[in-house]
Structure 1
Amino acid sequence: MSNADLLPSLLSKIYQNQLALEAAIMELTLWVEQRGSAEVASNVRGALDTISKNEESINMTLAVLMTPE
């Protein structure tokens, strides 16, 4: 398997890790928010919003990279 063949698979796994981290961070955000730290929760939600905004572009790029030539 060439390096060019490995790249889409690697990027896909990194993306899956990103989604898992996003979910875990959201759980922690909810926990923090329930304990009265709304400002911290708001800051984290702002950072998570960036991940969400980039999600569609990442998915489309991975689909193109994984399409056989």
Structure 2
Amino acid sequence: MPSPEYSLSDTLERIYENQLALEAALMELTLLVEGQGNAEAGDNVRGALETIGENAGHIKQGLARLRAQEPD
């Protein structure tokens, strides 16, 4: 069985998907921590989540540009 080709854009797409999954998991934990009355920890995590969200847009745009440059 031949090994699959892993292009740079495919690899980066997987990293991006992992980032989104981690963001969702952190949000779930944030809601749990806040529900237990620890608002300060929740605020700290929300700050990190904001950075993740901002960077996600840049990553997605970069992936689109990279894919557009790849041969079909």
1:2-44 per-position Cα deviation (integer Å, ceiling 9, x unaligned): x8x6100000000000000000000000000000000000000
* Structure 2 unmatched runs, 5+: none
1: CA distance, partners of 2:38 / 2:20? 24
| Residue in 2 that maps onto 1:56 | 57
* Structure 1 unmatched runs, 5+: none
| Residue in 1 that maps onto 2:30 | 29
| Residue in 1 that maps onto 2:39 | 38
Structure in which a larger fraction of residues adopt helix: 1
Residue 19 (1) aligns with residue 33 (2): no
The alignment covers a number of residue pairs equal to: 66
Runs of 4 or more, structure 1, over 4 Å off, are none
Q: Tell me the amino acid that sits aligned with residue 51 of structure 2.
A: T
- TM-score under structure 2 normalisation? 0.85
- Cα RMSD (Å) of the superposition? 1.4
- Identical aligned residues as a percent: 53
Q: Tell me the amino acid that sits aligned with residue 14 of structure 2.
A: K
Q: Tell me the amino acid that sits aligned with residue 60 of structure 1.
A: Q
Quote the offset at 1:54 in angstroms: 1.2
| Residue in 1 that maps onto 2:66 | 65
